Structure 1
Amino acid sequence: MKILRIILQLAALGFSAYVLWTQNFTLMPYVMLMLGMFMLVAGFEKIQSDRKEFWGYMFVLISLFIFFVSAQGFIVNA
């Protein structure tokens, strides 16, 4: 789970750096999708730990919102 989180974190960072460098904002839904997947994995990682933290559930809720925003971005850009 930790390796997947790091891969998603680097992918989101790479996509965002590319978007900022080229000023090509059509890739923004992909950045949001990667960020949503990262937040979802981080939330599940916190929930699966011995202490069931509030922030684990909050990360999952935030990731659902980010998925919704990403889906809207895909629909608007299509």
Structure 2
Amino acid sequence: MNILIEIINNIFRVIAAVLAGYSLIIGNFDLMPYILFFFGVSILISGFVELQREKKSFWGYMRIAYALFIFWGLIKSFLLN
């Protein structure tokens, strides 16, 4: 199960990196909400994995807080566009 979660997490990271690279090369930043989504899901998964490894880990909670902040920005960007 842990290997499956790591594979899914790596897939989200690669998708975010490819979309970010594409946006930088092309110069079109319309894909930014999708990049934020994949990046936020990756950080959220990392936070939950960290909490499962160590009980009451500060960095696990911080990663979840970062992911929620990213999702807040994502929702705000969808509502403004």
Q: Same fold (TM over 0.5)?
A: yes
Q: How many residues align?
A: 76
Following the alignment from structure 1 to structure 2, what is the Cα–Cα distance between the partners of residues 75 and 22?
A: 24
Q: Which runs of 5+ in 1 are unaligned?
A: none
TM-score, normalised on structure 2? 0.88
RMSD between aligned residues: 0.9
Residue number among 16, 30, 33 corresponding to 1:26 in the alignment: 30
TM-score, normalised on structure 1? 0.91
| Structure 1 stretches of 4+ moved >6 Å | none
Q: Which runs of 5+ in 2 are unaligned?
A: none
Residue number among 35, 39, 45 corresponding to 1:41 in the alignment: 45
Higher RCO structure, 1 or 2 (CA under 8 Å, sep 6+): 1
Q: Percent identity?
A: 37
1:74 Cα offset (Å): 1.3
